[in-house]
Structure 1
Amino acid sequence: MMYRIGYGLILAAAVTTAGAAAAKPPLRDVARIDDGLLYVALANEIRKGCDAISPRFGRALSTLRAIQQHALDLGYSQAEIDAYTNSDTEKDRMRARGARYYAANGVDPTKPDDLCALGRAEIARNSAIGVLLRAK
């Protein structure tokens, strides 16, 4: 009888643990991941739109790998990560976040001077965006 009770407790604990693991929040709700991808995307747009700023590709690649590893460490599968990063809905949402970031900083992303000013400010602040960029 003790064996069955002990086995039942172990089984209940395993089911509870598995249920908790299955209840992961969407990747978009994991700030370190979602914000990290936003910062890489913004840095990429800044470097593309401003000839006076170049990318730190190695740092960007390292950042992307760290984001991916963090998601894996949290228990997300590669398929879940790929679905999130390839989702048109998530890409649109990320573009909207970027637009809000530009607006909050008084930047018109179609104007190279604005992008350059933002890029230089981010570099000077050594922000999460700035560390991905280098002034030429």
Structure 2
Amino acid sequence: MRMMTTAILSVTLAGFVATSGHAGLRDERDITAGLLAIAVADKIRRSCDDVSGRLWVARSYLNGLKAIARERGYSEAEIDAHVNSSENKAEMRKMRNAYYKSKGASNLDHPSLCRLAREEVAAQTQAGKFLKVK
């Protein structure tokens, strides 16, 4: 069940952070910030043996972001187009890696990500709320 949940979350996250030709959803700063927090935590949990993801918390948060998009008038088709674009997947990775760099970590340096995980959890950041240090 855990692997299925992990797979579902990863696929959903990877898709939802994508952007379509529709600039509107991409420009929703709070949604983008929320997606960035999920992306930060997702990479960390996959990189660190002593960190696990709070997958149900992240999934619930992601569903909340989708609900916000719908409340703001975005159609399911627009959200799906946003989900299926590869352009923003690359952009979200760039944003995620820039966040790591700003915190003295690197996506290529697993020990630095594990250190960052402990800091994020201790500071109770949004990304930290999606992580659990074992």
The alignment's TM-score, normalised by the length of structure 1, stands at: 0.79
* Larger-Rg structure: 1
Percent of residue pairs bearing the same amino acid type: 39
Q: In 1, Cα distance between the equivalents of 2:96 and 2:83?
A: 16
Q: CA deviation digits over 1:7-36, x for unaligned, max 9?
A: xxxxxxxxxxxxxxxxx9611110111111
- Matched AA of 1:110: L
Matched ranges for 1:1-136 at <5 A: 26-136=24-134
Aligned residue pairs, count: 113
Q: In 1, Cα distance between the equivalents of 2:37 and 2:126?
A: 6
1:85–1:91 Cα contact (<8 Å) kept: no
Identify unmatched segments of 5+ residues in structure 1.
1-23
Q: 3-state DSSP class of the match of 1:44?
A: helix
**What is the deviation of 1:85?**
2.1
- Matched AA of 1:105: K
- Matched AA of 1:26: G
- Matched AA of 2:29: A
Q: CA deviation digits over 1:61-86, x for unaligned, max 9?
A: 10110000000000000111111122
